[in-house]
Amino acid sequence: MTMKIHHAPNTRSVRTVWLFEELGLPYDIQFHKLGDPEMRSPEYRKIHPMGRVPALEDGDVTILESGAIVEYVLSKYGEGRMRPKPDSADFAGYLQWLHYAEGMIMPPVNIIVVETILLPPDRRNDVNVNRATKLLGQMLSAVNTHMEGREFLAGDFSGADIMTGHACTVARRLGADVSDKPNVEAYIERLNARPAMKAAWAATV
C-alpha cells in the first residue's frame, strides 16, 4: 500500500516528501492550503488533531511531526540507509542534529514567520523579530562551526540532514544572513543541488 503524505506548500511537510524521494519510496500527496477551513474540519482532525501538516498515513498507522516521521520511515523502510548504526561513532551526532532543527532553529523561525507574514502589520512587533533574528543567527553559527571540514552533519547523508538541512534552507529563505557563515551557505547549496531535494521542491509547490 502506498503511503499518503498530507502536505501544504512552504511547510515542514516538504521534509517528508524529500525523505521519500531520497529513499525512492512511492507516495501519494494530499495537498492542503494553510488557513483553509478544510484543515479544521472534523474529517481532517481525525487524521491530525491539530489540523496541521505533515501527517503520514501508512495503512492503519498515522504519524505526525516531521522528525517522528523521519525516524518512523527510516526504522521501518530505510533498510539501514540514512541512519548510522547505534554502535557507529556518528550515531550520537546523528541524534543531536536530527533534533536540532526543531529544538534550536525552528523556534526563532516560527517567531519570524508569525511576526512578518501571518500577523497583520498593525499587530507586528519589531522587538520580537529582532530578538528572534539574533537568536537564529546564533543557532546557525553552531551549525557553521560543526560543518567545518564536513559534507554532512553526521558522516554520510542522513535523516539529520533532512531535518536540520531543511531548517537551514528555510532560515535563509526567510532572510537569515549566512554571508558570514560560509559552511552553512555551502551546506545549503549542496543539499539543494541533490536530485531528491529538487524533486521534493517541484512536487510540493
**pLDDT attached to residue 181:** 98
Go through 131-169 and write b for each residue having 16 or more CB atoms within 10 A of its CB, e for each that does not: ebbebbbebbeebbebbeeeebbbbebbbbbbbbbbbbb
Distance from the Cα of residue 66 to its chain's centroid: 7
**pLDDT attached to residue 35:** 86
DSSP string, 182-199: HHHHHHHHHHHTSHHHHH
Inter-residue contact 17 to 197 (CB < 8 Å): no
| Tens-place pLDDT, residues 152-186 | 999 999 999 999 999 999 999 998 999 999 999 99
Q: What CATH architecture does domain 3-81 belong to?
A: 3-Layer(aba) Sandwich (3.40)
> Would you list the domain boundaries of the chain?
3-81, 91-197
Inter-residue contact 107 to 100 (CB < 8 Å): no
User: Which has the closest alpha carbon to 54: 16, 82, 26?
Assistant: 16
CATH assignment of 91-197, among 3.40.920.10, 3.30.56.10, 1.20.1050.10, 3.30.70.270: 1.20.1050.10
- How many beta carbons lie within 10 A of that of residue 177, not counting itself? 13
**pLDDT attached to residue 114:** 94
Mean pLDDT of 103-116: 96
| Tens-place pLDDT, residues 18-70 | 999 999 999 999 999 988 999 999 999 999 999 999 999 999 999 999 999 99
Dihedral angle sign, alpha carbons of residues 31, 33, 37, 41 = positive
